Structure 1
Amino acid sequence: MLAQEFKEHISTQLPFLLGSRILIACSGGLDSMVLIKLCIETSFETGVAHCNFKLRNEESDGDEAFVKAYAQQLHIPCFTTSFDTEKYAATHNLSIQMAARELRYRWFNEMAELHQYDYILTAHHMDDNLETFLINLSRGTGIEGLAGIPEVNGKYIRPLLNFSREDLLKFAKKRKLQWREDSSNKSTKYLRNKLRHDVIPELKTINPSLLKNFQTTVANIQASANFIKSQVLLLKKELFLLGENGVIKIPINRLQNYGNSKSSLFFLLKDYGFTAWSDIEQMVTAQSGKQIFSATHRLVKDREHLLLSPIIEELPDHVYSIPEEETMLMFPSGTMRFKEVEEMESANLKTIFVDKEKLKYPLSVRKWKEGDYFYPLGMKGKKKLSKYFKDEKLSLLAKERVWLLCSGKEVVWIINYRADNRYKIMPQTNQILKITIT
């Protein structure tokens, strides 16, 4: 019964697995041994990967030997590795469970890439999903935490989520499979085990249809989560305006038109690593210049917009030198090209024309700094760059990304913005240098 239902589920819900090379994460326990057997009966090209976390002494080594022997019996590839899990957990300030999770998933990815497996299958089943649901519920979570374990997550596939542990046990006994029992699973010091041994059996006694009803509930939550995702995509399409250098501009007035700014900002920004939602909500009314950081991104209030940008590790105050014979320079802001031309064409923010005879080589490209000034093209007198940026209403992020083309200590061009009047083309100019940035 289970074997046929498994094949039908693969055929209808996970057809991309058919004909693919499959790596199965195998602990040696009931769940993973059943998954291996089902995959063999479904004629998958299968390999097995086993992690020895060295947490249960001889028992851990016995699990490894058991998995190796079973793979050898089936004539399928078997990959094993060992970890000093306790040391890794202490070094990285993690719980043993989180350390083991990080270690195994990193290694599974390496094995799949090295041996060219298309997908990695894990043996999570319906009972595991219920446990995860209750754990997330007890800790406080959003709708995605209540949607349970995803069946498909990139290259990781969990094809047993529609089946209970009782289904797997019946199949294993019918096929006379052997498996290993993890003694640590009996301990109720871990929340998951306490739920498994004390809470869920009681809930099943109260409601024998618990798992079936839970499956329906998860399906409904997942449908709601998918609907929210589709609406968030539409919201991003409406509110995310792409600026220069990958900066995303979010118009505050449009955001406020949607009503609940806090919820909107949560769904717009949660994929960028932010967690301080109360602080982020206050960004809407904060003064310009206020910033909030996640591990990967920065959110800045700038007048009428919120600016979202990745955190980029800038080079230290690096100065690029450009000798006279050089025709091209690549630097973080783009590629600059130099070409002598016979006559001046139309200039723009990306192209300027200068009197080459006025330049002092080598030229240099550097970041702007306080105290810099220039003579804006088309104007009389000089102006501090800080004052120019203020007049042009440049955001904090935009100012941080400004580069200058310099001749000696003089500014020739605020790259992408404005040229200096001192180097403009005059009637008596003999050499015209065209400078472009892409």
Structure 2
Amino acid sequence: MLKNLEKYIATEELLASDSKLILAVSGGCDSMVMLDLFRQIGHDFVVAHCNFKLRGTESDSDEVFLRDYCGEHGLELYVKTFETREFALQEGISIEMAARELRYQWFYELMDSLKYDFLLTAHHQDDLVETMLINLSRGTGIRGLSGIHPKKGRLVRPLLFASRKQIREYAQTNQVPFHEDSSNKELVHQRNLVRHQIIPLLEQINPAFKSNAAKTAGILKQTEQVYQAKIDEEMTRFMSKVGDNLHLNIAYLEQSPFAESLLFEVLHPFGFNADQVFEISQLLQAEAGKIFYTETHRLVKDREVFILTPRAEDQQERFYIEKDCLSIAVPFEMQFSKLRKDEQFQFSREKNIADLDFDKLDFPLMLKKWEQGEYFQPLGMTGFKKLSDFFIDKKFSIPEKEDAWILYSGGKVVWIVGHRIDNRFKINKNTDAVYRIRFSL
């Protein structure tokens, strides 16, 4: 096992000889075997243990066991206790997800504070196969089917070459002490259901299922590299970044023989699942306006592009501008000046400048996003028009409408910033002083 570990580390280029490591050790068989092996290799490492307080005295017993073991072998140990159930309830997530978020956040904080290079976990070949099946059940791309990778950033999984059976045999042969986690047998957990019921059924079909699946994952990992290179090349042709948004060119997707794959690779990292991506791919020639949501992002079908935007908070921010204010920096930069309307004055026609009649303004002015049902009198018109109708006439996309900022005076619209001033505040022959506003996003 030790020689195979050293060979795997070298082949996969996981670690340098002088890498400083944190070993995540639960006290179970897998992590204790990893700890035993790395004691023999001679790397500079410390041990990190999480007590999630989920199994009563059993959780505390694991911590005591690790403290005794590390003390006996002169190993530096860091322990963190979490109120996992309370965190899960507070965040509205499952216990499993809560434990994962808590432990990895702490592990990376520990790495940063100690200035260590890598975090090592004891995931093995069986974990890889289980992950493949779970990802397959959820709907995934080629990346998900390749399972767990041996190295991802600062996270290293050095035992992926070994099966659970091989690790157990090593522990027994070398008398490696460990604690059994009773929750590993509870079928309420998705992974345990796959482990104890689904995989045994597949092994009835082919006893070599797990080893064959692991080999397939290796092949898919190499295939993924070729696939990703092609995807990256395609993305430069149909995807562009506009501010905080991504624009996906619909015309390019329409002629692409693998539009759905392209959409999946772009959208999946933002929380869109396979069913959503399929539905989106069927809308390339549909009318604009369809919207898809995830917890963090939104995709809008516009006329020529799909627009991917971060989901905005519901809070309506308001910014006030006093008469003597010269500039603001939030929500964007604006400069304010008062000019005399004399013979030298020249009216600006630039979109980012508004020249207004100073005496018609009531201060403080207010700057905020527009709301449905609001009206204004567009420059050059005597009648009123809904802001929403103005946006439609100007062919604003949904994100552009939502990003529109409005300047108000006394509750009246003064300026759709960057687009049109209100006729009621325009300069005329009776204007004495001009209030000039310049903005830059």
Please report the TM-score for the alignment, with normalisation by the length of structure 2: 0.81
Classify 1:338/1:135 alpha carbon distance in 2 versus 1 (closer, same or farther; 3 Å): closer
* Separation of aligned partners in 1, 2:330 and 2:90: 38
> Which of 259, 264, 269 is the equivalent residue of 1:271?
269
CA contact (8 A) 1:232 1:268 kept: no
* Separation of aligned partners in 2, 1:117 and 1:125: 23
Classify 1:200/1:82 alpha carbon distance in 2 versus 1 (closer, same or farther; 3 Å): farther
Unaligned 5+ segments in structure 2 are: none
CA contact (8 A) 1:124 1:161 kept: yes
- Residue 26 of structure 1 and its aligned partner are, at CA, apart by 0.7
* Separation of aligned partners in 1, 2:364 and 2:178: 73
Give per-residue Cα distances to partners, 1:141-183, cap 9 Å, x unaligned.
4423320112223332111212344554565567553333445
Q: Which residue of 2 aligns with 1:25?
A: 24
1:293 and 2:296 correspond? no
Q: Which residue of 2 aligns with 1:372?
A: 375
Q: Which residue of 2 aligns with 1:51?
A: 50
- Residue 422 of structure 1 and its aligned partner are, at CA, apart by 5.4
- Residue 296 of structure 1 and its aligned partner are, at CA, apart by 0.9
Q: Which residue of 1 aligns with 2:193?
A: 191
Classify 1:426/1:43 alpha carbon distance in 2 versus 1 (closer, same or farther; 3 Å): farther
* Separation of aligned partners in 2, 1:49 and 1:360: 62
* Separation of aligned partners in 1, 2:163 and 2:282: 46
CA contact (8 A) 2:361 2:409 kept: yes
- Residue 90 of structure 1 and its aligned partner are, at CA, apart by 7.4
CA contact (8 A) 1:186 1:193 kept: no
> Which of 382, 391, 395 is the equivalent residue of 1:389?
391
Q: Which residue of 2 aligns with 1:71?
A: 70
Whichever residue aligns with residue 119 of structure 1, its letter is F
Instruction: Tell me whether 26-35 or 76-85 shows the greater mean CA deviation.
Output: 76-85
CA contact (8 A) 1:344 1:353 kept: no
CA contact (8 A) 1:404 1:412 kept: yes
Q: Which residue of 2 aligns with 1:129?
A: 128
Give per-residue Cα distances to partners, 1:226-267, cap 9 Å, x unaligned.
333233323322222333x52322232221111354343223
Aligned length in residues: 429
Unaligned 5+ segments in structure 1 are: none
Give per-residue Cα distances to partners, 1:22-41, cap 9 Å, x unaligned.
22111223321232233334
1:280 and 2:260 correspond? no
Classify 1:238/1:123 alpha carbon distance in 2 versus 1 (closer, same or farther; 3 Å): same
Classify 1:8/1:431 alpha carbon distance in 2 versus 1 (closer, same or farther; 3 Å): farther
Classify 1:226/1:382 alpha carbon distance in 2 versus 1 (closer, same or farther; 3 Å): farther
* Separation of aligned partners in 1, 2:95 and 2:411: 58
Whichever residue aligns with residue 152 of structure 1, its letter is K
> Which of 330, 335, 338 is the equivalent residue of 1:337?
335
* Separation of aligned partners in 2, 1:407 and 1:83: 52
Q: Which residue of 2 aligns with 1:417?
A: 419
CA contact (8 A) 1:344 1:432 kept: no
* Separation of aligned partners in 2, 1:284 and 1:404: 33
Q: What's the C-alpha RMSD, in Å, of the aligned pairs? A: 3.6
Please report the TM-score for the alignment, with normalisation by the length of structure 1: 0.82
* Separation of aligned partners in 2, 1:238 and 1:135: 33
Whichever residue aligns with residue 262 of structure 1, its letter is E
Whichever residue aligns with residue 372 of structure 1, its letter is Y
Q: Which residue of 1 aligns with 2:247?
A: 249
Classify 1:71/1:267 alpha carbon distance in 2 versus 1 (closer, same or farther; 3 Å): same
Classify 1:386/1:127 alpha carbon distance in 2 versus 1 (closer, same or farther; 3 Å): closer
Q: Which residue of 1 aligns with 2:311?
A: 311
- Calculate percent identity across the aligned residue pairs: 34
SS in 2 for 1:120: strand
